[in-house]
Amino acid sequence: MPSIPEILALVVGAYFAGAMNSIAGGGTIITFPLLIAFGMPAIQANATSTVALLVGIGGSLYGYRANLPVVRPWLKIFAPLSMAGGILGAWLLTHTSEKAFSHLVPFLILFATVLFLSSNAVRRLVGLDGSESKVRSAHIVAACLLQFGVAIYGGYFGAGIGILTLATLGLIGKTNILEMNTIKTVLGASINLVAASYFVWSGIVVWPEALIMTLGAGAGYYSGAVFSTRISPDRVRSMIIVIGFALSAIFFWRQYAP
């Protein structure tokens, strides 16, 4: 069993990770290295983090419940793709070396952040003016392909999938950040659900730590959802960009610093 200091650290870390995931994604950046810091192997730490943060998603979904009827048509399109990609990504994780895994993560997060930062330019480039009424079939197909790739990455590791999903939604003309966060949260739950199920089936989840972290994650998810609905969309968007660049910088430092 974990020691008292470890238990406290895991609960607090999971709380902030849940809040980050609820607002912009990237909570894995806290829980994953925290578990490694207490001596857990990387693959087990990733699987345990995924399971712990999955349970807390319920609090975030409750916080966004008012927006679910509006975004349901898009969920019917993207949720099945997200689940299929998530299980594929989880399988890839258990068949990939830890060295390759570590080298890819900072580049993927940086790409996600830059893509979200330039989402308005992307919409103009593909002929969108921020209105869903002008979305063409080609835009939906492109968004589906991108979201499937996001889901594969999400099942593989997961940090930054919220930012990537928000970028995907930009391709279909979504501009309401609260609706986008609602879709992002549901799709993230779908990805993590199938990935966590695969990790449990594979027997690589360390359950004492996973159960401890769910306590903090549940409170963090709900707090993040409530907080994001009480501030302006521009501030939420700015927070997403700042968190994204911070995540990529931390991963680059961990991977390449002398």
**How many Å apart are CA 36 and CA 192, to the nearest integer?**
20
Token pair, residue 98, equals: 């830890």
Residue 180's pLDDT band (cuts 50, 70, 90): confident
Question: Is the pLDDT at 210 greater than 90, yes or no?
Answer: yes
**Containing H/E element for 144?**
helix 137-156
Dihedral pair phi/psi, residue 28, rounded to 5°: -60, -25
**Residues 91-145: pLDDT tens digits?**
999 988 777 777 877 887 787 677 667 656 655 554 444 555 566 677 788 889 9
**How many Å apart are CA 101 and CA 114, to the nearest integer?**
21
Domain boundaries, the chain: 4-256
**How many Å apart are CA 218 and CA 213, to the nearest integer?**
9
- Length of the chain equals 258
Q: Which residue has the tokens 């008292």?
A: 4
